[in-house]
A and B are shown apart, each in its own frame.
Chain A
Amino acid sequence: MQNKSLNIGILIIGFLTIIAILAPLVSPFDPSVIDQDSLLMPPSLKHFLGTDTLGRDLFSRIVFGARISLGIGLVAVGIATLVGLILGAAAGFYGGRIDGLIMRFVDIMLCFPTFYLILAVAAILGPSIFNIMIIVGLTSWMGVARLVRGEILSLKEREFIQAEKSIGASNLRIIIRHLIPNAIGPVLVSATLGIGGAILLESGLSFLGLGVQPPTPSWGNILIESKSTLGVAWWITVFPGLAILTTILGFNLIAEGLKKKLGG
């Protein structure tokens, strides 16, 4: 069966990932070298995407920014998925009091407006790439936990789980070898969607100055620098914006394709 959206999504994300990994080879300039003679140059043969207010090559900055933005997206979603998987599986499998406790905690976490929570924590802990990965990860696991809990609730009544119990498999074995492999499909879909969300969150944070700190380029903080020159240098706004757009489109296509493929 042909799965167009999955293929196109993988193509886009694969391409971006390769560029991010090979950033030093791909980018024609050092992303933080200031060139006084070429401030705010429009796109040209020398600078594909133009330069910024300090004369830095925008293409190189976006390429290096991909490392930061994609890295934050992947790690944050990895943390969120892991936490959500563990708590959701525990809630669904054990039920009763443990379930009640975990799900009320989920409700409490969902009550906070996530973005402001992240903003507050980032302001307290100080903005760094590492902090942002952790903060974004620890504030976006609730959806995964709910999803996993639901899947496991319905799976654990199935006869193959009953059969495992009657051959004496331990709870841990049942959860890890039998329940989670059967519940992982929808989790993969939501994780893929989540990466896009995490990249957007990072951009938002960086835009407000609480994300990745200059001179390290991320797509969000390139955008913030463009704010003051929007009227004269459209390229500084448009290209990092396009990078974010393409990435999220790519991940959403993968998610849609996975959903189709896994029959969910």
Chain B
Amino acid sequence: MILEIKNLTKTFVIERGVFKAEAGLVKALDGVSFSVNEFDTLGIVGESGSGKTTLAKIIINLIPATSGEVVFDNELIKNIRKDVQIVFQNPYNSLNPKMRIAEILSEPLLIHHIVPRPFVKERALELLRLVGLDENVLGRYPIEFSGGQRQRICIARALASQPKFIILDEPISSLDVTIQAQMLDLFLELKQRLRLTYIFVSHNLAVVRHIADSVLVMENGKVVETGSREEIFYSPKHPYTKALLDAARS
């Protein structure tokens, strides 16, 4: 087990007025527990608002959990900022518009001293080749690229620190359908080549079925069902899972 989540809860407090009076509570995550094995892909499915992105952000420690624990295997994950990375849903918003691609990719390389400074550009180019782009990209700004190309750059950035674990938070849902299949193949290829572990968050069951080894179904911040891909897709037990599958078929 590379990651174990124990009874994770996240409550957002809605504040109102100057004195921050508590106006209500939103339970985004309610007692979520699961684990991920090394070299596996865990698919997390659920409708929008079911807490998938909140979960992703808590795992990578961008926001604190209200209670519960996120435990990484100490041997495999020594520095969460280096060994765990995330790719976000919206590639149009995920790259600093004022930076050239070369600079964007050099950030993680320099922060984690992956390669000595003179080799940074060379390494950035290798990363781009890895995601199917070429050297023409280096000197340009994010605005010059399509959504699919931007998402490839985001993936290259995530790979720069040589992570072992990548959280893909709806990484293809804002892309054209024609691009989606190519991106899925890229994820599978990278996983093979770099021996990665994935959490793949999506609301699209067909996509999860294609990429995930095991699946976790979420509804309103709760885990309603977990199982291998075969279990979830061929013999779902929970009514919510069945409803999701039915909705996807029609």
Residues of A near any B CB (own CB < 8 A): 158-160, 162-169, 173, 177-178, 181-182
CB of B93 within 8 A of CB of A158, answer: yes
**Closest CB of chain B to A89's CB: distance in Å?**
15
A168 — which chain B residues lie within 8 A by C-beta?
Answer: 79, 81-82, 108, 111-112, 161
5 inter-chain pairs at a CB distance below 8 angstroms, sorted by A residue, are: A160-B94, A163-B94, A167-B111, A168-B79, A177-B107
With A167-B161, A168-B112 in contact, is A159–B96 under 8 Å at CB? no
A173 — which chain B residues lie within 8 A by C-beta?
Answer: 111
CB of A167 within 8 A of CB of B98, answer: no
Tell me, in angstroms, the Cα distance from A181 to B96 when the chains sit together: 9
Whether a CB of chain A sits under 8 angstroms from the CB of B217 is no
CB of A159 within 8 A of CB of B98, answer: no
A159 — which chain B residues lie within 8 A by C-beta?
Answer: 88-90, 93-94
Chain A residue with Cβ nearest B103: A177
Whether a CB of chain A sits under 8 angstroms from the CB of B97 is yes
CB of A160 within 8 A of CB of B96, answer: yes
**Closest CB of chain A to B166's CB: distance in Å?**
11
Tell me, in angstroms, the Cα distance from A167 to B89 when the chains sit together: 17
CB of B107 within 8 A of CB of A166, answer: no
**Closest CB of chain A to B200's CB: distance in Å?**
17
Whether a CB of chain A sits under 8 angstroms from the CB of B62 is yes
With A159-B88, A162-B62, A162-B88 in contact, is A167–B107 under 8 Å at CB? yes
Chain A residue with Cβ nearest B93: A159
With A167-B108, A167-B111 in contact, is A178–B86 under 8 Å at CB? no
Tell me, in angstroms, the Cα distance from A164 to B111 when the chains sit together: 10
With A158-B93, A160-B93, A182-B96 in contact, is A166–B82 under 8 Å at CB? no
**Closest CB of chain B to A218's CB: distance in Å?**
38
Residue among A168, A178, A181 with most chain B CB within 10 A: A168
Tell me, in angstroms, the Cα distance from A159 to B88 when the chains sit together: 7
Chain A residue with Cβ nearest B104: A160
Whether a CB of chain A sits under 8 angstroms from the CB of B5 is no
A167 — which chain B residues lie within 8 A by C-beta?
Answer: 81, 85, 107-108, 111-112, 157-158, 160-161
B60 — which chain A residues lie within 8 A by C-beta?
Answer: 166
Whether a CB of chain A sits under 8 angstroms from the CB of B95 is yes
Whether a CB of chain A sits under 8 angstroms from the CB of B127 is no
B112 — which chain A residues lie within 8 A by C-beta?
Answer: 167-168
Tell me, in angstroms, the Cα distance from A207 to B245 when the chains sit together: 80
CB of B88 within 8 A of CB of A163, answer: yes
Residue among A166, A177, A182 with most chain B CB within 10 A: A166
**Closest CB of chain B to A244's CB: distance in Å?**
36
Whether a CB of chain A sits under 8 angstroms from the CB of B55 is no
Chain B residue with Cβ nearest A155: B96
B102 — which chain A residues lie within 8 A by C-beta?
Answer: none
Question: Residue B154 contacts which of A158, A163, A178, A182 (CB distance < 8 angstroms)?
Answer: A163
Tell me, in angstroms, the Cα distance from A166 to B62 when the chains sit together: 7
Within 92-144 of B, Cβ neighbours of A (below 8 Å) are at 93-99, 107-108, 111-112
Tell me, in angstroms, the Cα distance from A260 to B101 when the chains sit together: 26
A-B pairs, top 7 by smallest CB distance, nearest first, are A168-B81, A167-B108, A159-B94, A159-B93, A181-B98, A159-B88, A160-B96
Tell me, in angstroms, the Cα distance from A160 to B60 when the chains sit together: 15
Tell me, in angstroms, the Cα distance from A177 to B111 when the chains sit together: 13
Question: Residue A164 contacts which of B79, B82, B90, B107 (CB distance < 8 angstroms)?
Answer: B107
Contacts A166-B81, A178-B96, A182-B97 known; 15 new A-B pairs at CB < 8 A: A159-B89, A160-B93, A160-B96, A162-B86, A162-B88, A163-B157, A164-B96, A166-B60, A166-B86, A167-B111, A167-B112, A169-B107, A173-B111, A178-B99, A182-B98
B86 — which chain A residues lie within 8 A by C-beta?
Answer: 162-163, 166
Tell me, in angstroms, the Cα distance from A160 to B154 when the chains sit together: 9
